Structure 1
Amino acid sequence: MDSLSQIALGAAVGVAVMGRKTALWKAAVMGAVVGTLPDLDVLIKHGDPIRDMTLHRTESHALFYLTLVAPLFAWITAKLAREMHLFKYWWLAVWLVLVTHPLLDTMTIYGTQLALPFSDYPFGIGSVFVIDPLYTLPLLIGTGIALARKQLAGLRWNTFGLAASSVYLLWGLAMQFYVGTLADKSLAAQGLSVQQRLVTAAPFNSLLWRVVAITPEGYAESFYSLLDSDTEIRFVEYPRGQEIYQVVRSNWEVNRIAWFSHGYFKMEQQNGVISIADLRMGVEPYYTFTFDVAKHSIDKNNERIIFITPEQRIPAIKSEQSLQWFPQRLLGKTDQSLVEFLGSK
């Protein structure tokens, strides 16, 4: 999740654990600070943007390592608060703040390697978008009122904020499952052979959902809004560049994205440059993580593939029309894909 959400969650958890034992502001500040620590790994540069992307949310988000460092951070916190006699309670609070951070991140689609060092599998459920105000606001409101009111009444508001945000996460899981069942029926009705299928929350809300299905010929994409007038989901198929992948699959960068995306990727070649995109984050034709990985040239009948190290992520430049499409699709006013919507303008 975004930094504000992690700060809000950390503060709320800190107040919930320590609110009856120390000043509420101390508990909130500790939670907010500790809640941001795992994300400081973004400051580490690994040499290229693909490594930076796939090595984010690794050791700093692993439950095992966070459990190991929790006593150290708890000791520092208790020392700064001048409450060493409350060390065991600070330990519990710090540990809960640390481990809830990657657990929340796992609800997004990005990929969190929380099982390190035992497994490097990048977990990503996708039932909530990385920024969702309806998740964050209850935490901010609950903790904010708690700090403004007296101890007992404030704790109730903080508990309410935690409960409301947790219910919202459960709502997202339920709606993700529901849309998945509709998608499976629609895919079968369209006669599409599906190798794997993904349902993710669209940006900033849990009403609009994106569905991506990998097929033998490529991939199919669609959106479903809970405000749509019917339950049929119309999929649009796109090429995935499998023939390109077969040529460059030995490349480390290509394999890394293929692994990290769980197979949800596409490859394209334009003007002699081969790129790979993570299909989980974005919308056709704009994807958040797209990288140039090779150059393809033909010189005097000699065909050459030259692998290149990506210097930067290719920006997903969105048109003004795409910003018009999103709210219309969320409200169920159009069943066009973004590609079709752009083409009709």
Structure 2
Amino acid sequence: MDNLTHTLSGLIAARLYPAQKLSMKTRYIAGALAANAPDLDILLAPISSQLYIMHHRGETHSLLMLPLWALLLSWVFSRVFKGSNGWKDFYGLATVALMVHIIGDWITGYGTQLFAPFTNQTYSLGTTFIIDPVLTLILLGGFAAGLFMKNSMNPARVATLGVAIWIGTQFYWKQEAIKAGHAYAESQDWKTFTVSAEPRPLAPFNWTVLIQEGDRYHYAHLKLNIHTQQTAAPDTNWLSQALASFQPAEMADWKTLTKFGNGLDNTLARDIWARPEFEFFRWFASAPALYRIDHHPNGPCVWFQDLRFVAPGRDGPFRFGLCGPEWKAYRLDRSGTPRLFD
């Protein structure tokens, strides 16, 4: 979830939390700061990009570590804000604000290590795109109304209920997307397959459905509330073009990719995939597929992508590979330029 939404969720939590010993201003500031604190894992990025990607949404987002982080934040707040009676005045608020951050990340499709450091298994409800304007506006409305209705918690309560209803709506449509995937797989007479659905922006009806069938992936971008084909004129803007790529399930444009490619590419891709230098991506990717192989005089670059993040109008943000002859890890940036990823 983006940090504006995290901030607003912390402000709503501060408004609802009954910490009478603290002024409302202090509660707002402490709640907003605590609701963003887990993303301090960004400090790992300058040390090592691989370390960051493997620990992002890790220990700082862990339910098991939450009591300790709340204690640390409470102690810091008790030193920063005057007039409190010590860390105990902040502990409950810090706990709630950290929890809403974790929940806000858990509902997205990226994955959160809820039980780090004892396991790096990631968990995801996968209902909500990482930037959700509707959810953000619900929280913003609740906070803004609360500034005018200073003696009432009702705006914050209504916002909380609105967020719950919105996520529930998204969850319903996710189940519909999964049903559409099952229907397509069964129409192809595939016997063994798994179906997942990734949220896409701006509407709860937009989903990318992924079907894994052995080493093959089939995916399509669906708009579940329509039954007519989506079109966009060639001269329309980028957003209209992207949204027109989402089609009703019965008119979906299903694409197929293999995990390791075909022919000679398959052998090389399998070799690169198994190398220890690529351990971070084997852990990270839920739907890995060969993106391309670039051949250079000094050796090839073998690129993989995570199909969870393939979306219309958006260059894949998670494309990684190894480049010979030393087989170092690289990442393709949005312009397609390889960047060392160490």
Sort the TM-score into its range (normalised by shorter chain): 0.7 to 0.9
Contact 1:210-1:222 at 8 Å conserved across structures: yes
Structure 1 unaligned residues grouped into runs of 5+: 296-304, 318-345
Amino acid at match of 2:320: F
Contact 1:60-1:66 at 8 Å conserved across structures: yes
In structure 2, distance between residues paired with 1:50 and 1:180? 32
Higher relative contact order (CA 8 A, sep 6+): 1
Contact 1:276-1:293 at 8 Å conserved across structures: no
In structure 2, distance between residues paired with 1:207 and 1:177? 11
Aligned CA distance change for structure 1 residues 134 and 219 (closer, same or farther; 3 Å):
same
Contact 2:287-2:308 at 8 Å conserved across structures: no
Partner of 1:29: 29
In structure 2, distance between residues paired with 1:20 and 1:146? 17
In structure 2, distance between residues paired with 1:236 and 1:183? 13
Amino acid at match of 2:119: S
In the alignment, does 2:329 pair up with 1:309? yes
- 1:203-218 aligned at under 5 Å gives the runs 203-216=201-214, 218=216
In the alignment, does 2:55 pair up with 1:55? yes
In the alignment, does 2:276 pair up with 1:247? no
How many equivalent pairs are there?
305
Structure 2 unaligned residues grouped into runs of 5+: 228-247, 337-342
Q: Normalising to structure 2: TM-score of the pair?
A: 0.80
In the alignment, does 2:230 pair up with 1:232? no
- 1:1-345 aligned at under 5 Å gives the runs 1-18=1-18, 22-45=22-45, 48-85=48-85, 88-152=88-152, 155-192=153-190, 194-216=192-214, 218-229=216-227, 231-232=249-250, 234=252, 235-241=254-260, 243=266, 244-271=268-295, 272-283=300-311, 286-295=315-324, 306-310=326-330, 312-315=331-334
In structure 1, distance between residues paired with 2:75 and 2:279? 42
Percent identical among aligned pairs is: 20
Residue deviations 1:214-273 (CA, integer Å, cap 9, x gap)? 223521111211332165363222233252432123323433212222344435312332
Residue deviations 1:270-315 (CA, integer Å, cap 9, x gap)? 23321121111123794111123133xxxxxxxxx641132x4432
In structure 2, distance between residues paired with 1:175 and 1:211? 12
| Alignment RMSD (CA, Å) | 2.5
In structure 2, distance between residues paired with 1:107 and 1:138? 16
Contact 1:196-1:214 at 8 Å conserved across structures: yes
Contact 1:210-1:221 at 8 Å conserved across structures: yes
SS in 2 for 1:104: helix
Aligned CA distance change for structure 1 residues 146 and 21 (closer, same or farther; 3 Å):
farther
In structure 2, distance between residues paired with 1:263 and 1:308? 22
Partner of 2:230: none
Residue deviations 1:46-90 (CA, integer Å, cap 9, x gap)? 655444323211111112222112123223324444343485452
In structure 2, distance between residues paired with 1:16 and 1:261? 38
Q: Normalising to structure 1: TM-score of the pair?
A: 0.80
Aligned CA distance change for structure 1 residues 108 and 226 (closer, same or farther; 3 Å):
same
